[in-house]
Structure 1
Amino acid sequence: MQHSFKPNVFRVAVTAAFGVAAAVAATSVSAQTRDQGRYVVGDFHNHTTCSDGQISVQKLVNKSVDTYGLDWFILAGHGGGGTRNCTLADDETVFTPSSNPFVPGQGPDTTWANSIGIGRVKGDRAAEGYMFRWQSTQEFEYPLLEAMAEAKQKPIFIGLESVVAGHEHSDTAVITGQLPATGRGNADPGAQWEYCFDRADTDLSRGADNQWDCTVPGGARNEFLDARGRKLTGAQDSGTLGHLKTVEGVRWLQAKYPTSSYYIPAHLERAGVFNPNGSNGFNIEHLRNFNNAGPTVAFGFEGGPGHQASNNRSYGTGATGGGTYGGAGYYTGKLGGVWDALLGEGRNWWIFNNSDYHSRGSFGPDDLRSTSDQYPGEFNRSHVLAKTGGKALTPQAIVDGMRSGNSYYVNGDLIDRLAFVACRSTGVSAEDQLAAVAAVTRAAIRNEGFETARCAQQGEKLVINKGEEVTIVAVLRDPEGSNLSPYTIPNPSLLQVGINQPLNQPVLDHVDLIAGLVTGYISPDSPLYAGAAPGGVGGAQDSPNATNPSTAIRATYSAANWTALPGGYKVIKQRVPNVQKSQYIRLRGSNIPAAVPNETDAAGNPLVDTLANNITVFPDAVACADPTAAAANVNCLTHLPVQGAGRRLDVDVEAFTDLWFYSNPIYVEVRGGTVVAGVK
């Protein structure tokens, strides 16, 4: 699925599509010296046996980086702690550095007490052999990851899936100290944050010999710190008070590590709407509070949750919105919903996706089938633009790229290249506009960013005068060949509308250009600030405060109106004349056309994924594409529930059926109009 264009091939292609002048201009782009950055793929939400996962750190890293080709990897088990030593390799076949050799008779389910000895376990539950996450992060997981990074010459470091006070879960990390250019590093700041602010960490030892103090610079709740543990505890861990504690945690990151940390709520619709007396979900006001408290730290959410191979693609009917929508959470999948409401304020609020890998469910970790999760890089992929100045990729370059908003997420390798820009075109000659399109095409082929004075990329804003014209250009690649699905059966969703397409060879059907108006930040004391978006669960309706009614599909592109280039590249160009108001634009695309029963509505919007269970799969004793997935001649679809004469579409087969990608937005700010305050 990897392609490259030789210069002469590229020149022929753009000449045919855009003309000689465009080709000449495009070939000159390679001479630019500015670091345009390159897109790198990674995962920052996954699990080993140090929390509730199935395998060791080593095996998860090997699968993610070697088998599934990730450019970077961030380990992120749950906060709190556990009794199992995830740094023990599963067996002698698993690559492990010399610092952590395989120990016969032991593996990642072996307890800390039975491996390192209970005397080395610290904190208030040491006598139980229960190691708090702060200690395993500091003393065991980070040193192993640093050794793995050295061995594989890739950024492999540590984060956290925090158990959030007042809510459910969030991805966070502090990279300060990790993977230094020379010498040995540490993960001390991230370990301290886990001790101080994770709801599941009940330790009051102050991190034993660390003697941490959780005082927040300028914090509003320092007076409530526990006298012994120097952290917020008890009633501060749930509901409304829990949310206030979590905001303090974001403030702590913003004050101490404003450019070397992140706070990204995970699968935030899964537990339903916020419960003021419990630990459920996130309403829009909580996301606004996080972004206000830490604008360079809390800059987005997990729009595409993991567990996509599980029943109903991760979310059940009790989730906000009643489930996922084409694999996206309701806050992302609903047109004009929570994400669009945040973008409509002009906030720097970006979306990502992750695997949330724990296990293969009813299958072993080396089987290609799954009733629970896919490995990092196997299905969910976040492409982030990283600028390295020609040097090696670093944790800082990755986090800077995440913060920039110049990223996009993809499921099932539907696309693997995207260059997306908006350019001022008033007063620009037709020849120069064609040259710009060709230059953006070259950026996509090179997997690079694209910067010029009159254009903006994802996560940036283009400032124009009222009435000027803007031209939107997107170039993407639908990779030829097969993706990582082990199934070769015809896509059962597409068969409903007469399309016979192998499940492991998806074809991009269309791309939607979506836009909405920017009306400015809403003040916390405004009646428009707070609101839940249950998505009609139990008859409840979304609050108008959590929607953006101006959001709409402005154009749809397919084979009928995009320009196709060799190698699977598609070129999209859209003129927007006479722009009067500040706005944002974003892209999404799918292999599923509009009006496919149980999958999309008449406009092409994704329907709730629980409906896909109504689709019957007729496996006909199909074997797996890769025989290592199961014994020879074994029907690979026997894990699907029986439904009539066939089987019900569900779990990993459903995940590979309905694929989507989402870009992050580009803002257009009109001088004299609403200011896009969240983007410089």
Structure 2
Amino acid sequence: MSFLFPRNTRASLLSAITLATFLSACGGSGSSSSPAPEPTPEPTPEPQPTGSWSAGDLHVHTYQSDDAQVSLESVLEDAFTRYDLDWLTISNHLRTSYRDHDGAELGESIPFYQALIDHEMPYLKQALEQDRYPGALIYSSFEWDMPTHDHVNVGIGMDAPMSEANLRAVAEFEYLFTTRDAGLFDPALVERLGDQPRANTTHEDALTALRWLRDNHPDSYMLLNHPSRYTGKYTIAQIREMHDLAPDQFFAIEGMVGNQMEPDRGGYAEAYVEENLSSRTYGGTDYLVAQLGGTWDALLGEGRRIWNLANSDYHFTTAQGRYSSGYAPGEYAKTYVWKDGEDASALLEGLRGGRLFGVFGDLIDALEFRAANGDRGTVMGGTLNAAPGDQVTVTIRFRSPETNHYEYPLESGQSAYMKPTVDHVDLIVGDVQAPARPDSVAYQSASNPSTRVLARFTANDWTVDEDGYSVITHTFTASGDQYLRLRGTNLAVNVPGQMKDGEPLPDAKVEVANDAARFDAINARNYNDLWFYSNPIFITAE
């Protein structure tokens, strides 16, 4: 699926030619016959961006993860046949596997890279060769237990993620940066890496792994998953440190987390006490991103290109009739990325570029966010030059589908025919300062006091164009280095237990004794609390 939007083009400029010059050039009356001045040439038009919107999921598990209950085949069917995604990343845990991609017991535990070689990769290659999912982009990554922290997704070698060289790189990473017994690995690999120390227990080891990616496989990424699920797993100083070390690899946060079918939304199960409010989700979104003026805004307020996205973290929806975990890929959470090309390297460049947004429950399925200063403009992820006092015009176009995937009862296949509707959209602005130095107090600060809602728009503030897109236009005066971002929701600005004065409240645990009733209550909670978050546009003072 793709959405293409009309682009503004710069008007052509032609020099005026005076009547006297015209007559002279034609031999008409006049004194001397000096040659007519050359017309000013038309300026070269601004190059128009190529590419299209695409939707996908970077965080999906199968039976090869020890805590998952779904086959690789069912995951692919859900993603591409049922929910119409364009790309998908299989990201099983970087742990030993005792089952294959269909759930069959192996009789032994094997390292992740061996399971990848023997089971996951052959199935994916066969699916691609047989063109079961035309036009789909599929590749393997992994979810690593980062030492002293929580989980990160690692995509190695995006220039050729299904190649033999990539498989060797995955095996090397697993050997160097996990506590796996060396006896589980190919002896030739162990011998080849014998002079490199294994790094798998400290924060410094985590940095060593990131540095290894940067230096050996720059066409890779490391995505920070569900960052606040457990208290104290990351400080903002550590996040800054990782971004300083490898900004082209460490550039994204899974702020719109998966596992939304957990009673503790997102699996954020720390005790429900005031001191753990930073380890809650807010409208299904990690506190790190959801808090206005919080950690994400502090990072953006240094001009850091760190983007937010949405994933499913799919393990299973329900299991044994007692447990629930998350939605299938494409069912509830989507990340939309503008990419130019069909392969994994194009996806990586799209992710790095920041023209992406995350959404829950198909609240919207298209978003164009643009800022312009006169005839100069840019989109999400871009930078606009504007002197203080310049008038900056923001244009927002979004569309909601006719229905989303809300079922009742859950997993019945019976659609509830819910039409998602945006109640309001917030245009958020924050000031940008120079990045804090590592030895400064500011490096430890997780707030940006300048962040505020610049404008809030409801249906009274937008029009609907002929293509069915809601259109908002807003002009404000630039005041220096700033960034702009959007968030939107189906909730009114004050909803008891969910929203107060436009700010999301911490999600409550669903506590219903009957299993089936609890599943339906969780599902209803999620579909009645929908959000989208854009990524920012930066404004740089001229």
TM-score, structure 1 normalization: 0.68
Gaps of 5+ in 2: 12-44, 411-415
Q: SS in structure 2 opposite 1:550?
A: coil
**Structure 1 residue 192, shift from structure 2 partner:** 2.2
Aligned partner of 1:328 in structure 2 is 285
Aligned partner of 1:169 in structure 2 is 151
Q: Which of the numbers 468, 475, 478 marks the counterpart of 2:390? A: 468
Aligned partner of 2:339 in structure 1 is 386
Aligned partner of 2:198 in structure 1 is 232
Distance in 1 between residues matched to 2:281 and 2:106, nearest whole Å: 37
Aligned partner of 2:251 in structure 1 is 299
The Cα RMSD (Å) is 3.0
Distance in 2 between residues matched to 1:355 and 1:311, nearest whole Å: 15
**Structure 1 residue 207, shift from structure 2 partner:** 4.2
Q: Which of the numbers 388, 397, 406 marks the counterpart of 2:346? A: 397
- Asked whether the equivalents of residues 162 and 171 of structure 1 are also in contact (C-alpha less than 8 Å), the reply is yes
Aligned partner of 1:631 in structure 2 is none
Q: Which of the numbers 64, 69, 88 marks the counterpart of 1:50? A: 64
Distance in 2 between residues matched to 1:205 and 1:4, nearest whole Å: 47
Alignment pair present for 1:640 and 2:517 = yes
Q: Which of the numbers 153, 168, 171 marks the counterpart of 1:191? A: 171
Q: SS in structure 2 opposite 1:76?
A: strand
Correspondence 1:125-136 to 2 at 5 A: 129-136=108-115
Q: SS in structure 2 opposite 1:310?
A: coil
Distance in 2 between residues matched to 1:311 and 1:405, nearest whole Å: 32
AA partner of residue 331 (structure 2)? E
- Asked whether the equivalents of residues 53 and 336 of structure 2 are also in contact (C-alpha less than 8 Å), the reply is yes
- Asked whether the equivalents of residues 69 and 319 of structure 2 are also in contact (C-alpha less than 8 Å), the reply is no
1:623-663, Cα deviation, whole Å (9 max, x unpaired): xxxxxxxxxxxxxx97235xxxxxx9842221111000000
Alignment pair present for 1:148 and 2:127 = yes
Distance in 1 between residues matched to 2:84 and 2:295, nearest whole Å: 33
Structure 1 stretch displaced more, 310-319 or 556-565: 310-319
Alignment pair present for 1:556 and 2:427 = no
Gaps of 5+ in 1: 22-30, 89-107, 114-128, 215-227, 274-280, 429-453, 490-501, 531-544, 617-636, 642-647, 672-680
Q: Which has the higher strand share?
A: 2
Q: SS in structure 1 opposite 2:318?
A: coil
Distance in 2 between residues matched to 1:520 and 1:179, nearest whole Å: 36
Aligned partner of 1:137 in structure 2 is 116
AA partner of residue 249 (structure 1)? A
AA partner of residue 143 (structure 1)? P
- Asked whether the equivalents of residues 205 and 229 of structure 1 are also in contact (C-alpha less than 8 Å), the reply is no
Alignment pair present for 1:41 and 2:1 = no
**Structure 1 residue 261, shift from structure 2 partner:** 0.6
- Asked whether the equivalents of residues 304 and 328 of structure 1 are also in contact (C-alpha less than 8 Å), the reply is yes
1:13-36, Cα deviation, whole Å (9 max, x unpaired): x9xxx9xx9xxxxxxxxx998442
Q: Cα distance 1:653–1:201, how it changes in 2: closer, same or farther (>3 A)?
A: farther
Correspondence 1:239-254 to 2 at 5 A: 242-254=202-214
Distance in 2 between residues matched to 1:401 and 1:255, nearest whole Å: 21
Distance in 2 between residues matched to 1:331 and 1:655, nearest whole Å: 19
Correspondence 1:22-171 to 2 at 5 A: 34-51=48-65, 52-86=67-101, 88=102, 108=103, 110-113=104-107, 129-150=108-129, 151=131, 152-153=133-134, 154-171=136-153
Q: Which of the numbers 503, 507, 512 marks the counterpart of 2:421? A: 507
Correspondence 1:482-561 to 2 at 5 A: 482-487=403-408, 504-530=418-444, 545-561=445-461
1:359-382, Cα deviation, whole Å (9 max, x unpaired): 122467xxxx98321001000100
Aligned partner of 2:363 in structure 1 is 414
- Asked whether the equivalents of residues 176 and 189 of structure 1 are also in contact (C-alpha less than 8 Å), the reply is no
- Asked whether the equivalents of residues 151 and 224 of structure 2 are also in contact (C-alpha less than 8 Å), the reply is yes
Q: Cα distance 1:185–1:149, how it changes in 2: closer, same or farther (>3 A)?
A: farther
AA partner of residue 379 (structure 1)? Y
**Structure 1 residue 514, shift from structure 2 partner:** 0.4
Q: SS in structure 1 opposite 2:60?
A: coil
* Percentage of identical aligned residues: 31
Q: Which of the numbers 192, 196, 216 marks the counterpart of 1:256? A: 216
AA partner of residue 478 (structure 1)? S
Aligned partner of 1:593 in structure 2 is 492
Distance in 2 between residues matched to 1:135 and 1:253, nearest whole Å: 20
1:481-527, Cα deviation, whole Å (9 max, x unpaired): 220001399xxxxxxxxxxxx77222111100001000121111112
AA partner of residue 590 (structure 1)? T
Q: Which has the larger radius of gyration?
A: 2
- Asked whether the equivalents of residues 3 and 366 of structure 2 are also in contact (C-alpha less than 8 Å), the reply is no
- Asked whether the equivalents of residues 247 and 290 of structure 1 are also in contact (C-alpha less than 8 Å), the reply is yes
Distance in 1 between residues matched to 2:164 and 2:539, nearest whole Å: 44
Q: Cα distance 1:581–1:488, how it changes in 2: closer, same or farther (>3 A)?
A: farther
Distance in 1 between residues matched to 2:539 and 2:417, nearest whole Å: 38
Aligned partner of 1:312 in structure 2 is 264
Q: SS in structure 1 opposite 2:260?
A: coil
- Asked whether the equivalents of residues 159 and 174 of structure 1 are also in contact (C-alpha less than 8 Å), the reply is yes
Distance in 2 between residues matched to 1:656 and 1:370, nearest whole Å: 19
1:545-579, Cα deviation, whole Å (9 max, x unpaired): 101111000101111111122454111111112x2
Distance in 2 between residues matched to 1:39 and 1:404, nearest whole Å: 13
TM-score, structure 2 normalization: 0.84
Aligned residue-pair number: 492
Aligned partner of 2:234 in structure 1 is 282
Q: Cα distance 1:663–1:655, how it changes in 2: closer, same or farther (>3 A)?
A: same
Q: SS in structure 2 opposite 1:378?
A: coil
Distance in 1 between residues matched to 2:328 and 2:2, nearest whole Å: 24
Distance in 2 between residues matched to 1:149 and 1:384, nearest whole Å: 22
Q: SS in structure 2 opposite 1:595?
A: coil
Distance in 1 between residues matched to 2:186 and 2:387, nearest whole Å: 55
AA partner of residue 467 (structure 1)? G
AA partner of residue 61 (structure 2)? H
